[in-house]
Amino acid sequence: MKNIELYYHKKILVLGLAKSGVSAAGLLHKLGAFVTVNDRLPFSENPEAQGLLEQGIKVVCGSHPIELLDEGFELVVKNPGIPYDNPMIEKALQLKIPVITEVELAYQISEAPIIGITGTNGKTTTTTIIHQMLNEMKEGQSLLAGNIGFPASTVAENATNDQYITMELSSFQLMGVETFHPHISVITNIYEAHLDYHKTRNEYVSAKWNIQKNQTADDFLVINWDQDELKSLTKKTKAKIIPFSTTQRLGKGSYVKNGQLMFNDEVIGQRDDILLPGNHNLENILAAIATAKLIGVTNEAIVNVLKTFKGVPHRTQLVTELNGRTFYNDSKATNILATQSALKGFKAPVILLAGGLDRGNDFDELRPFLRHVKALIVFGETAEKIAHVGKEAGVMVHYVKDVEAAVPLSYQLSDSGDIILLSPACASWDQYRTFEVRGNAFIEAINQLAEEVEK
């Protein structure tokens, strides 16, 4: 890593732990900063804080005391999930203390160039495909980082200048960057999301657009050319524009032509090479192809990944086939838009498993996408709301307690050739701690079902 002196002997507050906070605190300590960590979880229940204290880092746990900001901090590094209307953040900004997120630190120390990927949907899938394409070409060429689950600053500490950091970036992370500068930035799409955090759509879009704000004419912006809003935004960037489109034959960038996957008029492979279902995943793949070709990945390496990539866990993930029924885990579909995208990806009859946390919205927007749904199994707080839409669409509806109960029922209702799809259209927090826990419960229930069927 670059051994920068920017933070040497500076008083810095790390607000909120989790993986990124622990990583940021440890890095700043190595860089010679006087670090204080503040986390709301009590010290006795906080192994991360206990570990930092053992390193000689000051920790304040159990609450976020405003008076802590009277200690003369020169910088706050906040957990991305902490909103800007948090009293501590509001006070810091009033005191003119800069507030950044951990990905800013990662950029400042990284010897490796960064590929940054953001967007409303498809970030994780696109990030993973790019990562696999680079490593298919040369093992170890890409290191995953960011919102995908690997703290960016820890990855950057160990990255070398002959590697790339392939970094998934949320709007929460991108709001807290100043000098962050990816060599290649990717925007998969922009829809309305996270308004409970951002308050307005303009603020949300501005946060996403931060990914390119420090790029120059030597850098690249890979962007969805099927969205007029994004096309319009490209007038405000200095980066070279590399478009991708599922609907247009472009003169440059990546697109589809007569069933062929193209980049700058070169045939990369065939659409039939793609194992991953869905037009939304075709978007992700075209974005990944454009990025991989900019780096010099061979067509052979790209196609090898397309033929074998089954999806990211919990994101239209192919789980298994059982007596002709194919099970897909799309637990990450925590909003209606994501479930719409998943349903559009299948032509076979679908048994849809949906429901979860009630955030006050209705589900009328799902109705046009239920044409191929032969049965709807609902659970959680939103069960009745989703059931109402299903009944209006003429779909057979069944109520169950949870995902585990939905799996054997879905098998009973299905026939050979059907798709059984968990795509909840809701967050998991009414019944499951995370969408990953919900998805794993789905997979475990499938495994149990398979054992029973085989008896």
Residues 97-114: tens digit of each pLDDT: 999 999 999 999 999 999
Residue 280: pLDDT over 90: no
Q: Is the pLDDT of residue 197 over 80?
A: no
pLDDT tens string 220-242? 999 999 999 999 999 999 999 99
Q: CA 7 to CA 28: how far, in whole Å? A: 7
pLDDT for 365: 95
Mean residue pLDDT of the chain comes to: 95
pLDDT value at residue 311:
85
Q: Tell me which residue of 149, 154, 161 sits closest to 30, measured CA to CA.
A: 154
Q: What number does CATH give the domain 317-454? A: 3.90.190.20
Task: List, in order, residues 6 or more apart from 407 with CB less than 8 Å away.
Answer: 353, 420, 442, 445, 446, 448, 449
Residue 195 is predicted with a pLDDT of 66
Query: How sure is the predictor about 18, in pLDDT bands with cuts at 50, 70 and 90?
Result: confident
pLDDT band at 279 (very low <50, low <70, confident <90, very high): confident
- Summarised one tens digit per residue, pLDDT across range 356-395 is 999 888 999 999 999 999 999 999 999 999 999 999 999 9
Superfamily of domain 103-308: Mur-like, catalytic domain (3.40.1190.10)
By the 8 A CB rule, do 270 and 260 touch?
yes
For the entire predicted model, the pTM comes to: 0.85
- CA torsion sign, 194 to 198 to 202 to 205? negative
Span 44-90, pLDDT tens digits: 999 999 999 999 999 999 999 999 999 999 999 999 989 999 999 99
**pLDDT bucket at 194, cuts 50 / 70 / 90:** low
CA dihedral of 285, 118, 197, 177, whole degrees rounded to 10: 170
**Choice between 195 and 429, residue whose per-residue pLDDT is larger:** 429
The domain ranges of the chain are 11-100, 103-308, 317-454
Position 264 confidence tier, pLDDT thresholds 50, 70, 90: very high
According to CATH, what is the number of the domain 11-100? 3.40.50.720
pLDDT of residue 228: 96
Q: Tell me the C-alpha to C-alpha distance, in Å, between residue 207 and each of 91, 99, 119, 213.
A: 21, 14, 10, 10
pLDDT of residue 360: 87
Predicted confidence at residue 193, as pLDDT, reads: 66
- pLDDT tens string 328-349: 999 999 999 899 989 998 999 9
